[in-house]
Structure 1
């Protein structure tokens, strides 16, 4: 069985591959990135748009993820704009010096400077598309708060400044297996894994993976 991962993000590919390694599935990385206009107004809509674009291009079952960090005290930003938060006029643009991830973090910390409400949560929505007519979603949420400064070298994105609920360490300070257990993407992938396990022997599923 083959499953295309609709992303060129190395961090996501490593995480998803690690989480699905117990299944008898051949994970395919796309040969080239497809420019997908993320015009949706939610993580679910954008996950669907990504899955559809890659499915149309490669013609095999596709898994797409859309995820981000939500900070209630910042009106829900970065939210669906998490990957390009630095470039938004809202809150003032941040210059990219070393990486986009660092620019996003710098902007977020600047906007939260002096704030006592540092609550935040990561949200991930996974779309598994077996055909243009048959697709499912799985969602995961991880609650926590924003640290005062970046810590840790593991992970990617906002991981160095996000402390999961009940933790003093940031996500970027945790070993991969521990991160998978509590992360938003880990929760969504586990839900998806249960679905795959249950339907692996269905006629439709076998047809969808016959290529």
Structure 2
């Protein structure tokens, strides 16, 4: 029977995307069953994305039954011109000023380059924490495409053929996104661990 792994998120779009990213290859039996739970977790005030993710998954471990495998995911948008800010705080900036406000932050700068970073912290059934990170380079542009997924409409990845994430087909985005890169590392770890139990 497949092991159960809990993903801490209340974001339906994110859950759907992660299910796609962690789905087994065609014809393969799933190594685990992915469920989700929506917890309010404290956000550590830290510039280290790894520390923030570790802190969150440690809190999730405390709320779940001992031996439950769980992971959290944190995605940051780091502007070159701001030495990495807004970084992990991008969701609060987005909530407060919207995509246009994020674009306006760079209005006085020639350098619009940004790095999208996803950090996944996974606590296995033994309580050991593993951290995986994926990165995608790009630039901040005026909003284009759907607005249903955070700041996707203002991030144009270098490998995106001139499209923002929001303008890309899901499968194309999943080829190059920082989230897909982080989850490819988690998937590799889980599939390697599935023989010995997650």
Residues 49-103 of structure 1: CA distance to partner in whole angstroms, max 9, x if unpaired? 22111122122100111121000112321112111125xxxxxxxxxxxxx28x3
* CA-CA distance at 1:200 after TM superposition: 0.9
The alignment status of 1:163 with 2:156, answered yes or no, reads: yes
* Number of the residue aligned with 2:27: none
User: Structure 1 length normalisation: TM-score?
Assistant: 0.82
Is residue 173 of structure 1 aligned with residue 179 of structure 2?
Answer: no
Aligned length: 188
Tell me what 1:95 maps to: none
C-alpha distance 79-153 of structure 1, shift in aligned 2 (>3 A): same
After superposition, where does 1:34-113 map in structure 2 within 5 Å? 34-59=40-65, 60-85=68-93, 100=95, 103-113=97-107
Gaps of 5+ in 2: 25-29
Note if contact 2:41-2:56 (Cα within 8 Å) is conserved in structure 1: no
**Alignment map for 1:124-163 (pairs within 5 Å):** 124-131=118-125, 133-147=127-141, 149-153=142-146, 156-163=149-156
8 Å CA contact retained: 1:155, 1:171: no
Confirm or deny: 8 A CA contact 1:72 1:120 kept in the other structure: yes
Is the contact between residue 18 and residue 183 of structure 2 (CA under 8 Å) also seen in structure 1?
A: yes
- Cα deviation for residue 116 of structure 1 reads 2.0
User: In the TM superposition, what is the alpha-carbon distance from 1:34 to its structure 2 partner?
Assistant: 2.2
Partner residue in 1 for 2:11: 9
Distance 1:137 1:35, change over 3 A: closer
How far apart are residue 129 of structure 1 and its match?
0.3
Equivalent-residue separation in structure 1 for 2:58 and 2:50 (angstroms): 12
Question: What SS class does the counterpart of residue 145 from structure 2 fall into?
Answer: coil
The answer to whether the 8 A contact 1:40-1:46 is kept is: yes
More strand by share: 2
Consecutive unaligned residues in structure 1, runs of 5 or more = 87-99
2:88 alignment partner, SS class: helix
Alignment deviations for residues 19-68 of structure 1 (CA, whole Å, 9 cap, x no partner): 112143211111x4223233333111111122111122122100111121
Mean alpha-carbon deviation: is it higher for 149-158 or for 55-64? 149-158
**How high is the TM-score relative to the length of structure 2?**
0.87
SS class of match (2:13): helix
CA contact (8 A) 1:52 1:132 kept: no
Counterparts of 2:85 and 2:47 in 1: how far apart (Å)?
A: 13
Cα distance per residue 1:146-188 (max 9 Å; x no partner) = 11x1111166111101111042110001111111110001001
